Amino acid sequence: KKRLAVRAGRGAIKSTTGVDLALNETLNGSWTVPQGEVHFFAFISQNKSEAQQRLVQLEARLAGLGLAYERSGDQIVLTGTQRGFRVFACTVGAVSGFRCFGFVADELAKWRSADSSANPAAEVIASVRAMTVTHPAAREFFVSSPWGQEDYHYRLVERGTTDEQHVAIAPTWVANPGLTEEQTRT
């Protein structure tokens, strides 16, 4: 399916799973990238410092796989390829201008605009989807803990599993068997 929408509690290893999904899509996807360009798998978070943690996780996995890469600022490019990973803050201006073959929208139920405190997810996702226009098979991963009943993520999850998307819902201790229900309630 094109889209995965996950609603799971804090500590449910959602972001880490997003890293693994992105790594698989980047290494194994049939992405055609024009000569002289680099296209990315994108991670969008509330802010870039949060998103930067995904690059640290990717570096560890790439090193473990023995794959060469270069990291520069907000991006990692796989050596000898035209593919990489890039992180963005959840603003329309930030997610413009690059080409992507997939993305993770991380904790999008909690995204807030600096100027209005409104959740900008619908507008940001529209802009991110424009970044994938040259890759019709681009995968979309929406992962968040529940936060309210008015946000973009809530509406995606409530739509349920369809021909285009799969929905997964789990409490933290089910999604992450390393934690107990008691730990999460504490």
Q: Lowest-pLDDT range, 7-21, 70-84, 132-146?
A: 7-21
124-147 mean pLDDT: 92
**The whole model's pTM is what?**
0.89
At 2, is the pLDDT very low, low, confident or very high (cuts 50, 70, 90)? very high
pLDDT at position 67 over 80 = yes
CA distances from 139 to 3, 55, 71, 117, 177 (A): 6, 19, 23, 28, 26
At 8, is the pLDDT very low, low, confident or very high (cuts 50, 70, 90)? confident
Q: Find all residues with CB under 8 Å of 37, minimum gap 6, and list them.
A: 82, 99
